[in-house]
Amino acid sequence: MIEPGGWKVPKKAVRWEVSPKRKRSPALHGCLRRSAPALSCCLALLCLLIQACRNGMDPSAGDGKVPAGGGRLLPEHLPAEVAGALLDSAERPTRFTQDDIWEYLDGGAHEILRLGFEQLVVARYKEAGSETRVVIEAYTMKSSEAARSLLEAWRSERARTSAVCGQALLEGSLLCWQQGNRYVRLIAISGQENAGVLLENLGRDLCPVLSPP
């Protein structure tokens, strides 16, 4: 029989058989069948870990604490309630990196990148029983010197010192401090005209949470 294109096909199909020497033994076949579920679970776990690394997630995250031993700060590490203020459910905490910091700091991104910016976590809290909201910005820099440089670059001449987290700076509706390689800024965006007391209470409770490893 001649197929289109001129190729000759034999009338009898060629039958390929496995050599008896290469056939699986019953014992090996049973072993593979018994180990298949375990192998599937291992492969599924490996896929989840790979996906977590690609998404910049920490598998130990989710307990409200920064993992000891070098884990980076993630949005899910922030507590749901701090100093009587609740995490704003309408706007989930967000993490920005060197790739997308421009979306948050359009005008100041170039400056902090030059100083050694690595990542930023932004969250919003609402004071219970009032309309006061506080934006929390936690900048992770490449070193403590870089964090200190950012603090000095954004420092206001009218700011006064506060005992929060060692030595913070407070000016009206803004409280900021350096904590290791992190620069933290709390901004009251509505509600009380002078939110200094609320900012300091939030700062005291957040200081141990935001402490670098």
Domains of the chain: 82-209 (3.40.1000)
pLDDT, residue 16, reads 38
Residue 138 · residue 177 · CB < 8 Å: no
Q: How far apart are the first and last CA of the chain?
A: 76
Average pLDDT on 127-133 reads: 86
**139: how many CB neighbours lie within 10 A of its CB?**
28
* Site of tokens 């409280």: 175
pLDDT the model gives residue 149:
96
Q: What HEC string does 80-109 produce?
A: CEECCEEECCCCCCEEEECCCHHHCCCCCH
pLDDT category at 3 given cuts 50, 70, 90 is: very low
pLDDT tens profile 9-19: 344 443 434 44
Q: Calculate the alpha carbon distances from 89 to 30, 144, 171, 179 in Å.
A: 53, 32, 27, 27
| Burial class of residue 58, CB neighbours in 10 A (0-12, 13-18, 19+) | middle
Residue 81 confidence (pLDDT) above 50: yes
Cβ proximity of 89 and 78 under 8 Å? no
Residue 199, classed as helix, strand or coil, is: helix
Beta bridge partners of 139: 120, 183
- Single pTM value for the model: 0.66
